[in-house]
A and B are shown apart, each in its own frame.
Chain A
Amino acid sequence: MAIKVLPAQARPVEKRSVAPAQAERIRRVQRLTAYALLVLASAASLLPLLWMLTTALKPAGAVLEFPPRFLPDVFTWSNFPDAWTSLPFSTFLVNSVVVTTLSIVGNLISCILPAYAFARLRSRVRGMAFALMLGTMMIPAQVVIVPRFLLFSQLDLVDTFWPLFLPNFFGTALYIFLLRQFFTTIPQELVEAARIDGAGELRILWRIMIPLSKPAIATVTLLSFVGAWGEYIDPLIYLRSTENYTIPLGISLFRGQYADDYNLMMAVSILALVPVIVVFLAAQKYFIRGIMLTGMAGR
């Protein structure tokens, strides 16, 4: 180990015997190239969204202009209220908020409890149950879509919100897995100490596990929010009356009725995206942490 005396930074330059000025120039070119490519990739991400915004601000006549122009001459802000009121989007919004809230609450309750069981309570069937749970993650959603529909039809719950949120009250394998992984990192001594003090399992969960797992719980909340807010297939299958529609179904209905009014369609899309964008910007570190946790599954 004593051989490593030269600072790491200095060695390459010496080895290649490049003059310091030239090395500096190479570094600058590299940094500029990196910036140029980063700006290009950012543009690829942002341009469609900016295009959405400028289209949403175009007056009716300017949308089907050929060749298209990026910016309109006048900003037609009235497109937003016009699009919103052309269909009962306020009703759709309330429906989406109800379904999303219930889905998040359901997921939190029904994923935290089993995650604690899988992480901290021993049973002879635990290993098998855990393997079964991971196994269900690999089954395509299309396999269970028909039996679930038959079940909810039997229960006479078609055209209600129940089929949209009820399954979330009975555990989502991915979220249980994420939480369980996090729970196992909490020192067992804390749990043992609490047990010696006579704390029950619920109390341990509430007082120790949950406060120490805030990042994982935030992650599950966010993933659950994005999933429920954007869900399209389930509402499409189960909801029949327009007054029960959620926002994604409303967008679909809107598209059917205003096929060429791209300015209004983009205005509606932006309004539907605002909550997700705000939540994403406010809590992106939790999204990133959650994705990294799922990535760990593969290592």
Chain B
Amino acid sequence: MAASPLVRREARRFHLFALPWSIGFVFFTGGPIVVSLVLSFTRYELLSSPQWVGLDNYAQLLRDPDFWMATKNTVYFGAASAAAGVVYSLAAALLLNIKVRGQAIFRTIIYMPSVISGIATALLWIHVLHPDYGLVNYLIGLVGIQGPGWLTDASWAIPGLVIMTTWTTGNAMIIFLAGLQGVPASLYEAAHIDGAGWWSRFRHVTVPMMSPVIFFNLVVGFIGSLQAYQLILFMTDGGPANSTLVLGLYVYRYAFKYFEMGYASTIAWALFFLVIVFTVIQFALARRWVHYEVK
């Protein structure tokens, strides 16, 4: 098994060039993952050293009503946000794929919110969703309907957040657009000759041909929105009445408000578990509807 000097030299260079990532893996990703798993079995309140408590934290988790509330909210927000995002971005991509003049400008405008999304636009949305002085209820009011208390009414807070996340689904739209441009025009022509209208062309050509891309965006979008909490922390901090308390935010609360690092880690692993479960479910369901073209 003696490798030649040349092979060994190349391997040494590999290690040298990969070194930034290797160090980062030990200290900032891989190492912390192991530490976090260990911490999830401890009680650790920063002032004293961690204390091994076995499965106590996990048992506490199962009895914690706020945890179940947060899990329910996470799934609700994650599913609604991913579904609304995929529907809106696919519709937008279909429009942007039509050959009309000025498409580049439309694409820039529709894509921009997703790039600039952050704390500044979250502040904007707090105002846009304001029940009395906001844009959304102003527009709804124009047709004579009294809009709800987005972000202030417990049953409307998550829908309010979903409106905002749908506004920022430009990345999925770009991926759809790339996918649409890969659907062979001959398929549409064939469908057209058979007398298919736009709906049945969409239903029987676009959807099956695009199903791997739809699946990709759905999985990525769902994984992302199950973990999202940065803007929620800023906008509602989980309120009103814990109606927007999601698991990511619950981790943050226990870690950096109550400084219970052990329990915070347990919640983080519960979130990871939830992400895996839903991803596995999606892959299982995919067999029924995702169509991979045999090449």
Which of A's residues lie within 8 Å of B, judged by CB? 8, 11-12, 15-16, 31, 34-35, 37-38, 41-42, 44-49, 51-52, 55, 63-68, 70, 109-111, 113-114, 116-118, 121-126, 129, 132-133, 136, 138-151, 167, 169-171, 173, 176, 201, 226, 229-230, 232-233, 236-237, 248, 251-252, 255, 262, 265-266, 268-270, 272-273, 276-277, 280-281, 284, 287-288, 291-292, 294-295, 298-299
State whether A170 touches B20 (Cβ < 8 A): yes
State whether B212 touches A299 (Cβ < 8 A): yes
Q: How far is the CA of A133 from the CA of B20 in the complex (A)?
A: 12
Q: A117-B18, A269-B124 are in contact. Are A132 and B178 (CB under 8 A)?
A: no
Q: How far is the CA of A20 from the CA of B211 in the complex (A)?
A: 35
Q: A167-B24, A262-B127 are in contact. Are A48 and B118 (CB under 8 A)?
A: no
Chain B residues whose CB sits within 8 angstroms of the CB of A291 once the complex forms? 171, 174-175
Interface stretch among B59-67, B79-87, B95-103, B152-160? B95-103
Which residue on A lies nearest to B117, using beta carbons? A230
State whether B167 touches A201 (Cβ < 8 A): no
Q: A12-B193, A144-B28, A265-B127 are in contact. Are A47 and B135 (CB under 8 A)?
A: yes
Which of B's residues lie within 8 Å of A, judged by CB? 7, 10-11, 13-25, 27-33, 35-36, 39, 91-92, 95-96, 98, 100, 106, 108-113, 115-121, 123-128, 130, 132-135, 138, 141, 167, 171, 174-175, 178-179, 185, 189, 192-193, 195, 212-213, 215-216, 219-220, 223, 227, 229-230, 233-234, 247-248, 251-252, 255-256, 261, 264-265, 267-269, 271-272, 275
State whether A113 touches B18 (Cβ < 8 A): yes
What 15 additional pairs, Cβ within 8 angstroms, besides A146-B39, A255-B123? A16-B195, A34-B100, A41-B106, A44-B167, A45-B113, A117-B15, A142-B227, A143-B33, A145-B251, A201-B17, A269-B123, A288-B111, A291-B174, A295-B213, A298-B175
State whether B264 touches A45 (Cβ < 8 A): no
Chain A, interface SS category: helix
Q: A41-B110, A170-B23, A232-B234 are in contact. Are A292 and B32 (CB under 8 A)?
A: no
